[in-house]
């Protein structure tokens, strides 16, 4: 019996090693193909299985943080209170604010702020959400309460998108970010209405069709939030991926960048990475 148990354990270990080496080789090949760096963390919230690749390496999180900020605000505000209005001044408007630029001198509800931030990646909306939470310090405090001492919010939009590999400002690791997404959204304390509201916005994200969605099987459902920093070809996508027939999501974080400050990203890198990683599930 002991010998049988030993052989089963060895078989499982070898199976895991083969699986990890398989996706690791493919991702190493993708890094060479695109002359880029890839960071991945994936968690099947049903089985607990994880897939990692450079999961503890720091990357700029860019606009993927809008998912976290929106979720923190939704923890604080019940669904029936999201009609609270905030005023938008001309001085509030920053670059890439396709929705909020139409609200100068007007009021907008918290619900509309979250919709603008999550669906159109509106930068001014993200700033207003952070301020409604209580500022960057409050965001960081909530992250620490969730056990995330890695994700490091420091600046508002659009400055947070100026990434430097020499700085930890506005960076995270795929593992830290993915675990926070799980604790905050997939298995957090959001009310059912607020959780469904946020996930519906992520399902309808206007900026993610060429990223994770493009790399997973077509019958999978994907709720994602993309991000792109201004420097070092930083391009990201984070998602809750629902395989056909599965109600519990796979949390998938893909962060990428390159070595040169002026390099440009390629969305195919993320879609091909997603395709490789999803083979493990």
CA gyration radius, the chain: 19
Burial class (CB in 10 A: 0-12, 13-18, 19+), 49: middle
DSSP string for residues in 241-269: EE-TT-SSPEEEEEEEE-SSTT----HHH
Length of the chain, please? 281
Catalytic residue among 55, 63, 70, 117: 63
Residue tagged 């926070």 (tokens): 180
CA–CA dist 235, 38 (Å, integer):
10
**Is 63 among the residues known to form the active site?**
yes
Helix (H) or strand (E) holding 251: strand 250-257
Q: Which sequence positions are flagged as catalytic? A: 63
């Amino acid at each position: 019996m002991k010998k049988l148990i030993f052989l089963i354990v060895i078989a499982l270990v070898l199976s895991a090693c083969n699986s990890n080496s398989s996706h690791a080789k493919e991702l190493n090949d993708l890094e060479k193909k695109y002359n880029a760096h890839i960071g991945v963390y994936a968690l099947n919230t049903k089985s607990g299985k994880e897939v990692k690749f450079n999961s503890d390496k720091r990357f700029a999180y860019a606009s993927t943080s809008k998912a976290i900020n929106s979720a923190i605000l939704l923890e604080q505000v019940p669904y029936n209170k999201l009609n609270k209005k905030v005023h938008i001044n001309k001085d509030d408007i920053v670059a890439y604010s396709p929705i909020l630029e139409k609200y100068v001198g007007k009021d907008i509800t918290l619900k509309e702020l979250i919709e603008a931030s999550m669906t159109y990646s509106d930068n001014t909306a993200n700033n207003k959400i952070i301020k409604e939470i209580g500022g960057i310090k409050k965001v960081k405090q909530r992250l620490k309460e969730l056990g995330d001492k890695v994700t490091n919010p420091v600046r508002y939009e659009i400055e947070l998108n100026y990434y430097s590999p020499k700085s930890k400002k506005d960076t995270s690791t795929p593992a830290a970010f993915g675990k926070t997404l799980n604790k905050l959204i997939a298995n957090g304390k959001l009310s059912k209405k607020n959780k469904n509201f946020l996930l519906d916005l992520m399902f309808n994200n206007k900026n993610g069709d060429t990223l994770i969605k493009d790399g997973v099987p077509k019958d999978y459902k994907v709720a994602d939030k993309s991000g792109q920093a201004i420097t070092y070809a930083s391009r990201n996508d984070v998602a809750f991926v629902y395989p056909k027939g599965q109600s519990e999501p796979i949390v998938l974080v893909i962060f990428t960048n390159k070595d040169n400050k002026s390099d440009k990203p390629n969305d195919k890198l993320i879609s091909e990475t997603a395709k490789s990683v999803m083979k493990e599930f």
